[in-house]
Chains A and B, each alone.
Chain A
Amino acid sequence: GAGVSQSPSNKVTEKGKDVELRCDPISGHTALYWYRQSLGQGLEFLIYFQGNSAPDKSGLPSDRFSAERTGGSVSTLTIQRTQQEDSAVYLCASSLALAGSGSRQYFGPGTRLTVT
């Protein structure tokens, strides 16, 4: 079946503008994650959704970042008033959340965000 998809694949925006990044997880996956990878860095956890539970927002770097997951499927990551340090590849992953052990996460291709 289809993997995780993300759109757009590339986004260039001016500093101060808002951007929305979209993620379509694998059908049936109840867990959804957003990560970002800045230049020369590893993947940094941003936010996690699991079913109808309150999301784990512990990784969001500032209150300019927010995310929604509608109907337990598609997720949108919104960055308000973008700054140059927001430039990164934003990766979405989904998984079957299995109790008792870490669950394999499937990643999308990412959205490369460039703030000029």
Chain B
Amino acid sequence: DQQVKQNSPSLSVQEGRISILNCDYTNSMFDYFLWYKKYPAEGPTFLISISSIKDKNEDGRFTVFLNKSAKHLSLHIVPSQPGDSAVYFCAASVSAGGGSNYKLTFGKGTLLTVNP
């Protein structure tokens, strides 16, 4: 069973507009969430993260929102640029306090295409 779900396999937006990528999770033990971006033939690169004690984290054009009651998070990219075209993975982990087991559970990814 998938504990992290990205229900949209693809998304297409115009340059300059907002991109909204969604992610749902089922495991209530998850308390740390991350977004990774992946270009073809490269490994994923970290984009932004959020701890469950927050509901919003912003970094430049990227903002992640967390709705714990709905077990839902989203990544907003404003304004979208053609270079943002990539696969975006949502990931979650259980930080387990000081146990330091940080294995990530990933969604299947959403392919974002930003059209010039």
Taking Cβ atoms with an 8 Å cutoff, the residues of A that contact B are 4, 31, 33, 35, 40-45, 48, 50, 56, 59, 91, 93, 95, 97-110
The reply to whether the CB of B65 lies closer than 8 angstroms to some CB of chain A is: no
The reply to whether the CB of B113 lies closer than 8 angstroms to some CB of chain A is: no
Interface centre among B41, B43, B51, B103 (most CB of A within 10 A): B43
> Interface residues of B toward A: which range?
20 to 34
CB distance from B100 to the nearest CB of A (A): 4
* Stretch among B10-18, B69-77, B78-86, B89-97 lining the A interface: B89-97
A45 CA / B104 CA spacing, docked (Å) = 7
Whether B108 and A41, one on each chain, are in contact in the complex, defined by CB atoms closer than 8 angstroms, is: yes
Question: If the complex has contacts A104-B34, A104-B49, A107-B44, are A31 and B98 also in contact, measured as CB distance less than 8 A?
Answer: no
Whether B108 and A40, one on each chain, are in contact in the complex, defined by CB atoms closer than 8 angstroms, is: yes
